[in-house]
Structure 1
Amino acid sequence: MVVFDRCSRDTILDHDEFGQLAFSAFRCVPEAVTILYQVYAKARTTSLCDALRRAQITYLSRVRPDIVVIPSPGNLWQDFAKLVYAPYVLVIYAGSSFALWSTLANVGEVWMPPLYGGMTPDVGSNFHWINTPILYPNIGRELNLTSPGNITDSDKIIEWLSNR
């Protein structure tokens, strides 16, 4: 299974339509899956994004100890191909048109958060719209998360995502 993560400097609590999904999204992973590839843009990653990915692995080791997680950073074309050809895809970042377009070409199973404004169009029976809490900037403001680069805020972000 491929897990697509759009995390980057301009998406963490910075744009009203981008948001990290709570870790409970991993409950969508089918029981048959024992290997997860974390797919993300190698050139756009940050220390916070890396910390979030490590926290995801920790969460998965608790709820699905049978799963092996393999980091799979790549360039734009490699990531697009991974999302098109993977038998299972879980998009854990709301607001990614990149993920939408690539997974529309996927013939496997896709789990994705609703699109901008909560849209869940009928795009085929292989698409599963998931209802998982999303860390949008408005929630960050409610939690008094000021700067995602601040390690204290990073811990708050991970705590919020882990408990939803």
Structure 2
Amino acid sequence: MKSWDERIDDVWAEAAGDEVGDDTIAHIDALAAERGPDDGRAEFERAGARDSAGRPDEAVALYRRALALGLDEDHRSQCVIQLASSLRNLGEFDEALDVIRAEAARAPDGPYRDAVATVHALILASAGRPAQGLSVALLALVPHLPRYHRSMTAYAREIAESDT
């Protein structure tokens, strides 16, 4: 018999490339129910299903509950990123920035640092600060460049100032 994680992965694999809707939510909710109402990972998966279905207003409360209940480090980072993204989608830019900046400060060298930077850049762009968003994106790319770190960092910082 497959593990709970494997069955969750199967639901997401089945939904890949398709529009996520009520069927995916129902499958995720059924699996989450196996773990009970006080399981952070189950709440995270429920939130993700709603988020993927374009229901960020429903996802936000579940992401917050998942974080309050506790998650392993990997899923905690994913949850914070997805929460910030959902807040952005709802137009809650200040809160989204607070959430994503806290994550960037908490794990500046974590495995999700580029995802954090990407969401940070999107939030800034959506909040009407596209040059600052571009700067964040460029600064995230700098470590991946074979050369030009100093100059590209300086340019990215210079661009950010054009929104002020």
TM-score range, shorter chain: under 0.3
The structure with the largest alpha-carbon Rg is 2
TM-score (norm 2): 0.21
TM-score (norm 1): 0.21
Please identify which structure carries the higher strand content: 1
